[in-house]
Amino acid sequence: MAEMNLLQAINQALDLAMARDKDVVCFGEDVGHFGGVFRATSQLQEKYGSARCFNTPLTEQGIIGFANGMAARGLKPVAEIQFADYIYPAFDQIVNETAKFRYRSGNEFNVGGLVIRTPYGGGIAGGHYHSQSPEAYFAHTAGIRVVIPRNPVQAKGLLLAAIACPDPVLFMEPKRLYRAAVGEVDIAYYETPLDKAEVVQSGCDVTVLAWGAQMEVAAKAVVLAELEGVSCELIDLRTILPWDQDCIVDSVLKTGRLVISHEAPLTGGFAGEIAATIQQRCFLYLESPIARVCGLDTPYPLALEKEYQADQLKVFSAIMDTVNF
Amino acid sequence: MNNLRNSTPDCVYQPQFIDGHALSIPTFTLLQADGCLFPRARAPNLNREQALKIYHSMVFIRILDERMLAAQRQGRISFYLQCLGEEATTVASAAALDDKDMIMAQYREQGALHYRGFSLTQFMDQLLSNEHDLGKGRQMPVHYGSKALHYMTISSPLGTQIPQASGYAYGQKLRGEPNITLCYFGEGAASVGDFHAGLNMAAVLKAPVIFFCRNNGYAISTPAHEQYISDGIASRGVGYGIPAIRVDGADALAVYEATRLARELALSGQQPVLIEAMAYRLGAHSSSDDPSGYRSRDEETRWRSQDPIARYRRWLLQQDWLDEAADQLASDVLRQEVLEALKIAEKIAKPHIDTLITDVYAQPTDLLHSQLAQLKAHIRRFPEAYPLSAARCK
């Protein structure tokens, strides 16, 4: 075990994966000698050479198109998109190509080795082009997996599992927590399942569900609610697509209440999908309407970021309103 | 590579603009319309067997196209794309490759696929979306693909295969393979972002890929002069630092030779090469298109005189490699075989309903299994509404 932050855990996962398998190749803008703008790929070019860890030209659609081709050849590209806000030029390559490669060819070809890493989310005074949480766009696309870790332990295990996975994976990293989230991490190789939620804390009055950086906010809200005598079950969804329905259903059957919180705007957000499913599967057990605490349906602001965010007080309020419905 | 930052620049002391129109890349051609070589041209080193194999694939595709377009008009298949007029570009280029070189095509390169060995039955199974289709009936007709033949399954969005070809070739290079990737696209697709991204990536990262532009004059109804200005697509290669050649796309010998040399260059130099084949799409864009609305009969007639198959055929006759009577008979037999194969493929069942949820992920998810179970229960309730699958939902 060693103490490390989320970035170091990602860097170690990439290092282990490249050491184990020469087919693992890391690339993206500034990823080479510089180690990426956040330093997630530090030292990898020095260790594995510039053929396996390199800078690309500034073209997101080129990076993902190139990665698709490399994965189709049987390699395991780990392509970095510098900010999730800049993933849209690659949207066509991800949604129409990555996600459909295996299906459209009847499994003649696939891009199973592909992992797309991208930092997402707000709270860093980044304004609307450095703060978006676009997971819901990709959750609508069958054929890819969408994974969001919340801490260093998860980041390492989930990233190693993503690289080993026979399906292409979009791996979204909470950049606000890159250096803020620190923990004891096993320095050996390990994988964390890509389709399981994690029950972080048991409780009996209400289920509180979030993922990625929003888990920190949810955990603070749970502490506030507990001071009011409310017992919360806190769950990290961990993988957005496919998502662990059964885990959430089991919890809501027990608590009868659900509060879902994410950073992204409310309308069309992934909380809507979860709410619809839980409503269908737990209808007779629900004690109150499912609550969603999300960003506003606006672009992400700069100066009024604090007001915009689904912060712990908003989540706390939703928990109390749900319990007292 | 010329590194502008580290070299002493050539300077001028009066402003000078470089006009792209000044760049005029010549067209490489060997064969005249009458089947004779141009005076200073030399035929590539093709033996009789190879030369005839190229010819037979060109003829096969022309007959397949003609019959399947008719089948589409009869409502027997939903859609078709023919490559009339472009047979030489795709077949002769494929002939210059190693069988293990990857081909990543657009959708009008069935000649290359046939040359690789895709059988008449395989063509029919795909066109009819039956359960023998390698693509499991999931894509429109003409979206062929075959792992065994190193021919990547076609995708409908234009140009997406261009950066993928760069990545595939880079993978071949990392694996140390003695192979390259050839990527086909039309001059219309050279306008999409993926083209520029893909060329730049390949050039900078030194991927052994041949970008093969079929410049056939039209992107659906948009003529080439409304698609780009300056000197065609070959000049784009030059701008990206990629060696480029323009070739007469209706001349099978020139296409073969240009591709052979491009392959040598890509493989030995581990670098991209660009070929622009000047051809003409004699047919419609697709079975949903009518070119009489946007181009003249005169123009088509003029290009018909450049028919790549007729031109190549005359050359073969001059080599004494082709027997006219036997050739005519073979074409008649092939027409019959195509119709027979169509009838057989039509009778084969559609893919099993279980294939609705396979290949989305490596293994279907629990949710997909439960969605399929619900669907089957629904079909059992209304079997007459789902005749393709009702019998398989027991």
Q: What is the mean pLDDT of residues B59-75?
A: 96
pLDDT tier at B13, thresholds 50, 70, 90? very high
Q: Answer whether B193 sits within 8 Å of A105, measured CB to CB.
A: no
Q: Among B138, B170, B181, which would you mutate to test the A interface (most chain A Cβ atoms within 10 Å of its Cβ)?
A: B170
Domains parsed from chain B with CATH numbers: 24-37+45-347 (3.40.50.970), 353-393 (no CATH)
User: Average of pLDDT values for B152-156?
Assistant: 97
What are the residue numbers of the active site of B? 281, 285, 294
Segment holding A104, helix H or strand E: helix A101-104
Q: Which residues of A touch B153 (CB under 8 A)?
A: 101, 104-106, 108-109
Tokens found for residue B20 = 């792209």
- Which residue reads 């009868």 in tokens? A256
Q: Which residues pair with A236 in a beta bridge?
A: A198, A210
pTM of the entire structure?
0.96
How many angstroms away from the CA of B147 is the closest CA of chain A? 5
Q: Which positions in chain A touch B167 (Cβ < 8 Å)? A: 65-73, 77
Contact at CB, A69 and B104, closer than 8 angstroms: yes
Residues of chain A with C-beta less than 8 angstroms from the C-beta of B197: 57, 59, 61-62, 65
Q: Is B104 on the interface with A (CB under 8 A)?
A: yes
Residue B362 has pLDDT above 80, yes or no: yes
Residue B316: CA atoms inside 13 Å, Cβ hemisphere, count?
Answer: 23
Q: Give the other-Cβ count within 10 Å of A3's Cβ.
A: 10
- What pLDDT, on the 0 to 100 scale, is given for residue B8? 81
Q: How far apart are CA A145 and CA A67, in angstroms?
A: 16
- Chain mean position to CA B297: 26
From A108, A142, A165, residue closest to B360, measured CB to CB: A142
What is the distance in angstroms between the Cα of A252 and the nearest Cα belonging to chain B?
Answer: 19
Contacts of A233 (CB under 8 A, 6+ apart): A199, A201, A202, A203, A204, A206, A207, A208, A251, A254, A255
**Contact B387/A at CB under 8 A:** no
Alpha-carbon torsion (B190, B194, B195, B196), positive or negative: positive
Which residues are CB-contacts of A150 (< 8 A; sequence separation ≥ 6)?
Answer: A174, A177, A181, A211, A212, A213, A215, A216, A236, A238
Q: Compute the average pLDDT of residues B185-206.
A: 97
Average pLDDT over residues B289-306: 90
Question: How far apart are alpha carbons B260 and B92 in whole angstroms?
Answer: 10
Closest chain A residue to the Cα of B147, Cα to Cα? A108
Chain A partners within 8 Å of B136 (Cβ): 106-107
Q: Does A303 touch chain B (CB under 8 A)?
A: no
Rounded to the nearest integer, the mean pLDDT of chain B is 95
Q: B71 pLDDT exceeds 60?
A: yes
Q: Structural domains in chain A? A: 2-185 (3.40.50.970), 198-323 (3.40.50.920)
Question: How does strand A24-28 pair with strand A53-55?
Answer: parallel
* Closest CA relative to residue B394, chosen from B385, B379, B386, B384: B379
Q: Cβ contacts (< 8 Å) between A67 and chain B: which residues?
A: 167
Confirm or reject contact between A57 and chain B (CB < 8 A).
yes
How much is the pLDDT for B2?
A: 58
Largest CA distance in chain A: 60
Is the predicted pLDDT of residue B360 greater than 70, yes or no? yes
What is the rounded average pLDDT of the residues B282-298?
Answer: 91
Q: Determine the pLDDT at residue A73.
A: 98
Q: Which of A66, A145, A194 to mutate to test the interface with B (most CBs of B within 10 A)?
A: A66
Neighbours of A252 (CB within 10 A): 25
- Partners of residue B367 on adjacent β-strands: none
CA–CA separation, B312 vs B373, rounded Å?
56
What pLDDT does A26 receive?
Answer: 98
Residues of chain B above pLDDT 70, percent: 99
Residue listed under structure tokens 């864009």: B285
Does A195 lie at the interface with B, CB-CB under 8 angstroms?
yes
Name the residue type at position A202. S
Q: Do A102 and B365 touch (CB under 8 A)?
A: no
Alpha carbon distance B191, A107 (integer Å): 30
- What are the φ/ψ torsions at residue A32 (nearest 5 degrees)? -70, -120
Rounded Cα distance, B319 and B89, in Å: 21
Answer whether residue B1 shows pLDDT above 90: no
Mean pLDDT throughout B179-204?
97
Distance from CA of A256 to the nearest CA of B (A): 23
Q: Is B362 on the interface with A (CB under 8 A)?
A: yes
Predicted pLDDT at B7: 79
Q: Residue B6 — very low, low, confident or very high, per pLDDT cuts 50/70/90?
A: confident
Euclidean distance between CA atoms B123 and B129, whole angstroms = 10
**What type of residue is A304?**
L
Beta strands in chain B (DSSP E): 27-28, 102-104, 151-152, 181-186, 209-215, 218-219, 222-223, 244-248, 273-278
Mean pLDDT of B323-344: 96
Rounded Cα distance between B109 and B199, Å, is 20
Poorest-pLDDT segment among B8-12, B157-161, B176-180: B8-12
Kindly report the three-state secondary structure assignment for every residue of B160-229.
Answer: CHHHHHHHHHHHHHHCCCCCCEEEEEECCHHHCHHHHHHHHHHHHHCCCEEEEEEECCEECCEEHHHCCC
User: Which pair of structure tokens corresponds to residue B61?
Assistant: 């595709």
Choice among A146-155, B128-137, B142-151, B383-392 with the minimum mean pLDDT: B383-392
Q: How far apart are CA A133 and CA A165, in angstroms?
A: 23
Contacts of A102 in chain B (CB under 8 A): 359-362
Task: Give the pLDDT of chain A (325 residues) as one tens digit per residue.
Answer: 999 999 999 999 999 999 999 999 999 999 999 999 999 999 999 999 999 999 999 999 999 999 999 999 999 999 999 999 999 999 999 999 999 999 999 999 999 999 999 999 999 999 999 999 999 999 999 999 999 999 999 999 999 999 999 999 999 999 999 999 999 999 999 999 999 999 999 999 999 999 999 999 999 999 999 999 999 999 999 999 999 999 999 999 999 999 999 999 999 999 999 999 999 999 999 999 999 999 999 999 999 999 999 999 999 999 999 999 9
Out of A130, A135, A173, A216, pick the active-site residue.
Answer: A130
The whole-number pLDDT of residue B19 equals: 79
Measured distance CA(B25)–CA(B231) in Å, rounded = 7
Question: CA-to-CA distance for B271 and B202, rounded, in angstroms?
Answer: 7
- What average pLDDT score do residues B308-332 get? 96
